[in-house]
A and B are shown apart, each in its own frame.
Chain A
Amino acid sequence: MMDHEQAIEMQASLRYTLGELSPAERDSFEEHFADCSQCLTDVELAAAFAANTAEVFRTRALPPEGPERRRAWLWWPPMPALALSAALNVLLVVGIGFGFLWRSPAAPGSPASLEPRSVEVVPVRAATRSADGLQVVRASRQPLVLTFDLPQRYERYFYVIERGGSTVLSGELAVVGRSDSLNIQIPVGRLAAGEYRVTAMAATGAARENLGACVLQVPAQ
């Protein structure tokens, strides 16, 4: 079993949190910090640091609202941040119009993957200052596409999915062709049951516009 001095010397708490220990080292360290409240606290702090650091970077990658937008666009990070967004966007498909075919996740070329499927398409109204609150969308087990009107063509499009004030998914999207709507397929199956806020935004140069937002209710499986 790893002792306390060894754990400190090898920075076990941080390496454990980052998943860098071998399985044997991990098991040995766990056996140690089960009885060592100092190391347990270190691991807890390292986990909190890791989780909050990722969240800070995730939220800072989004263009902010209001008067900060000009400063934010000067600060806009280079490709590395967008590379992560692009990876997340694998989950989100932008279609054109209401009648596109959706491929199932079945093996390519199999009969099931070539079958057309119906999807639920929900138009989301633009954000207003009314007291009515946000539109509520209740997800079902069908694939769900939220569609936002595009009053004009923009250079860039973004989405944010939040839960309890924390960002769950966010990133940039590409609109294919000359569409008058931004259609976002939501990976409902990958969201835990609960209530989310989905927001779509667009930008051209330094000008930024909120296209719309809704509350998404995901039922328990």
Chain B
Amino acid sequence: MDFHVFNASYVSRLVDGDSATEAHFSGYFRTFIALKLRARRLSHSLAEDIQQETMLRVLKTLRQGSGISYPERFGAFVNSVCNNVILEFLNRESRHPAVPENSPEPADETVDLDASLITEERKRMVGEVLDGLRAKDKEILRLVFLEEKGREEVCEKLGVRSEYLRVLLHRAKEKFAEAYLRKRGTASGAHAGTMFAG
């Protein structure tokens, strides 16, 4: 697998508008920002706005502003810009007037952030991993991923040690990763920024 490294040459190509570099920048950081926002359970519509605003500000700083001092930490710079954008958007949301009591509940759009990761092919791969497990191990994974129970609660409920849980989760995830990368690796060279695109 080809792992990318940011450096002065990359930043310079991005400033100059090199199309391949722009495509990588877009794919890589759209995925990075989507993962950040998923971790914060922000709505899908807010996620789109934050992604666009972050990318815009980064390019503006590079092309019209002062640029960046440490191009090898370009990702950390984008992360920093994204954190500021998130704060601004959340502050803006909190200043909105209170919703009237009898109005319909706001739509829960967080389902969409995960929906873009779910495909029939990946479900089939996960299904094969699960089918190779004992019933108790399947139940552990179901409690963790479907019911989103904490590890301590799962260990207590099923009488397993935390080390066992840690190894099980890691191995199951790695089996899926192997299957996915094996399939993608033979086709187009798997790299970061491909799964949210479907």
Chain A bound to chain B: yes
A residues within 8 Å of B by Cβ? 1, 11, 14, 16-20, 26-27, 30-31, 33-38, 40-59, 80-81, 83-84, 104-107, 110, 112, 141, 163-166, 168, 187-193, 218, 221
Q: Give the distance in Å from the alpha carbon of A190 to the alpha carbon of B104 in the complex.
A: 8
- What range describes how many residues of B lie at the interface? 35 or more
Other-chain residue from B28, B102, B150 in contact with A112 (beta carbon distance below 8 A): B102
The answer, yes or no, to whether B187 is at the interface (CB within 8 Å) is: no
Q: Give the distance in Å from the alpha carbon of A31 to the alpha carbon of B51 in the complex.
A: 17
Inter-chain contacts of B62 with A (CB < 8 A): none
**By DSSP majority rule, is chain B's interface helix, strand, loop, or mixed?**
helix
**By DSSP majority rule, is chain A's interface helix, strand, loop, or mixed?**
helix
Which 6 pairs of residues, A with B, have the shortest CB-CB distance? A34-B75, A189-B104, A35-B75, A189-B105, A34-B79, A51-B114
Of the A-B pairs whose beta carbons lie under 8 Å apart in the complex, a sample of 6, sorted by A's number, is: A20-B151, A31-B76, A52-B122, A55-B123, A141-B104, A166-B118
Other-chain residue from B106, B125, B147 in contact with A84 (beta carbon distance below 8 A): B147
Inter-chain contacts of B150 with A (CB < 8 A): 20
Q: Decide: B146 and A84 in contact? CB cutoff 8 A.
A: yes
Q: Give the distance in Å from the alpha carbon of A20 to the alpha carbon of B120 in the complex.
A: 28
Nearest B residue to A167 via CB reads: B118
B residues within 8 Å of A by Cβ? 1, 3-6, 28, 31-32, 35-36, 38-39, 44, 72-76, 78-79, 83, 101-102, 104-109, 111-112, 114-115, 117-120, 122-123, 125-127, 130, 139, 141-147, 150-151, 166, 169-170, 172-173, 176-177, 180-181, 190-196
Q: Decide: A54 and B104 in contact? CB cutoff 8 A.
A: no
A169 to chain B, nearest CB (A): 9
Q: Decide: A46 and B151 in contact? CB cutoff 8 A.
A: no
